[in-house]
Structure 1
Amino acid sequence: MYAFPDWRAAPAENVPAALADWLCETGSLTERLIASGRLFAVEVLAQGVEPAWPDEAAALGLAAGAPALAREVRLTLDGVPFVYARSLCRADSPAWAGVLARGSRSLGLTLFGEPGIARHPLNFCAGLAAQSALLARARAALPGAGDWLHARRSLFGQPDDALLVHEVFHPLLAEVTPS
């Protein structure tokens, strides 16, 4: 059985500095990936209603296991996956259902391109993929990522109708720099 991540206000102490730079990016991750000069793409892995995990439900103010609309994607550069993202909101969200139903278009361009969308502080976790449902899904989506992964998440929008965005980073993202 998987545990659920212990989210913290700061990245783990063992995160390499170059990867910490990506983890702590407060602007649009999409824009930063595009700035690498490589071909950026979003691959949709799954989308639909599913029970929110306990930590997700708590972050969204839902009962554990409540239905949530979830979207899982991986962000690629030149066809190589570097980021696994899981975004979710209440299943009946009037604000976010349409945003999540965007196919292979990036959420980042909407979240950082629309005025009035508030981003709450980043939270971080790190751990073994075998011990966390989120990290296990990320490891499956990020070939060669290894067993120890670093992730972040944040809420967007209003506390009573928020979008929760998780991003798990392939360790090799540390070698990618904007051009």
Structure 2
Amino acid sequence: MSVTRLSFPYGESIQWHSPDQIPQLPPSPFREWLLASGSLTQKLKSHCNQFEVKVLGEAMLPPFPGELPHQGQAWIREVLLCLDGIPWVFARTLVPGAMMDSAQDNFLSLGTRPLGELLFTSGDFTPGKIEVGEFTACDSLAKLIDSLEQESHHPLWGRRRYFSHGDQQLIVSEIFLPKARQLIDRLA
């Protein structure tokens, strides 16, 4: 895998929708993964011998237009979630600047620990709605997928979830990479 920090950030602007607004969601079992209300980290860990977080980059950056309204800067962290050495999920987290002021130790000390452990075990965060999106990777994300030697002949699916911390919300977007979709479909 020839991923470098020089390409960070990899994320791109995606149109997200409520699942009930999508005319045709993917078939099971992938649909259940996409809409799972619990921790995706825990679900992933239950399907492998070795779970690994590969940090692609983290920094205070401007979000994409419309990604985190009214925020000039956000702490952005992008990672790959790997199962038995295979990247399954590209995840992008956006933490508003004001939340970083009050809870930065939670985020800056993560290292290679999954964010899901913090969000679902600390009691400080409340999971919110899930939105989904189907899109064709372009630009940096497409280059990332190519560098992972995963062929993307079909549109990708992802989910975006909001987590509340007091009166602030952070956003976690999780894109299922082509290998994940292939392997999940075989679980049926």
Q: Which runs of 5+ in 2 are unaligned?
A: 1-10
In 1, Cα distance between equivalents of 2:12 and 2:54:
27
Are the counterparts in 2 of residues 142 and 170 from structure 1 also a CA contact under 8 Å?
no
Aligned residues: 170
Q: Which runs of 5+ in 1 are unaligned?
A: none
Q: How big is each residue's C-alpha offset from its partner over 1:122-167, in whole Å with a ceiling of 9 and x where there is no partner?
A: 001111112x77x547635754150521111111114742211000
Aligned runs of 1:111-150 on 2, under 5 Å?
111-130=119-138, 136=142, 139=145, 142-147=148-153, 148-150=155-157
Are the counterparts in 2 of residues 129 and 136 from structure 1 also a CA contact under 8 Å?
yes
Are the counterparts in 2 of residues 120 and 155 from structure 1 also a CA contact under 8 Å?
yes
Residue 8 (structure 2) aligns with: none
In 1, Cα distance between equivalents of 2:81 and 2:97:
24
TM-score (norm 2): 0.78
User: Do the aligned partners of residues 50 and 4 (structure 1) sit closer, same or farther apart at CA in structure 2, a change above 3 Å counting?
Assistant: same
Q: Are 1:106 and 2:106 an aligned pair?
A: no
In 1, Cα distance between equivalents of 2:67 and 2:167:
14
User: Do the aligned partners of residues 163 and 55 (structure 1) sit closer, same or farther apart at CA in structure 2, a change above 3 Å counting?
Assistant: same
Aligned runs of 1:29-48 on 2, under 5 Å?
29-48=40-59
In 1, Cα distance between equivalents of 2:57 and 2:151:
20
Structure 1 segments (4+ residues) deviating >6 Å: none
Are the counterparts in 2 of residues 19 and 171 from structure 1 also a CA contact under 8 Å?
no
Q: Are 1:166 and 2:184 an aligned pair?
A: no
User: Do the aligned partners of residues 21 and 115 (structure 1) sit closer, same or farther apart at CA in structure 2, a change above 3 Å counting?
Assistant: same
Are the counterparts in 2 of residues 74 and 83 from structure 1 also a CA contact under 8 Å?
yes
Q: Percent identity?
A: 29
* AA in 2 matched with 1:70: I
Aligned runs of 1:53-68 on 2, under 5 Å?
53-58=64-69, 62-63=70-71, 66-68=72-74
Are the counterparts in 2 of residues 96 and 163 from structure 1 also a CA contact under 8 Å?
no
1:7 Cα deviation (Å)? Answer: 1.1
User: Do the aligned partners of residues 145 and 9 (structure 1) sit closer, same or farther apart at CA in structure 2, a change above 3 Å counting?
Assistant: farther
Which of 20-29 and 142-151 deviates more? 142-151
Residue 5 (structure 1) aligns with: 14
Are the counterparts in 2 of residues 83 and 168 from structure 1 also a CA contact under 8 Å?
yes
* AA in 1 matched with 2:129: P
Aligned runs of 1:76-115 on 2, under 5 Å?
76-92=82-98, 93-101=100-108, 102-115=110-123
User: Do the aligned partners of residues 145 and 117 (structure 1) sit closer, same or farther apart at CA in structure 2, a change above 3 Å counting?
Assistant: farther
Q: How big is each residue's C-alpha offset from its partner over 1:1-39, in whole Å with a ceiling of 9 and x where there is no partner?
A: x98322111156252422212111110111111111321
CA RMSD of aligned residues (A): 2.7
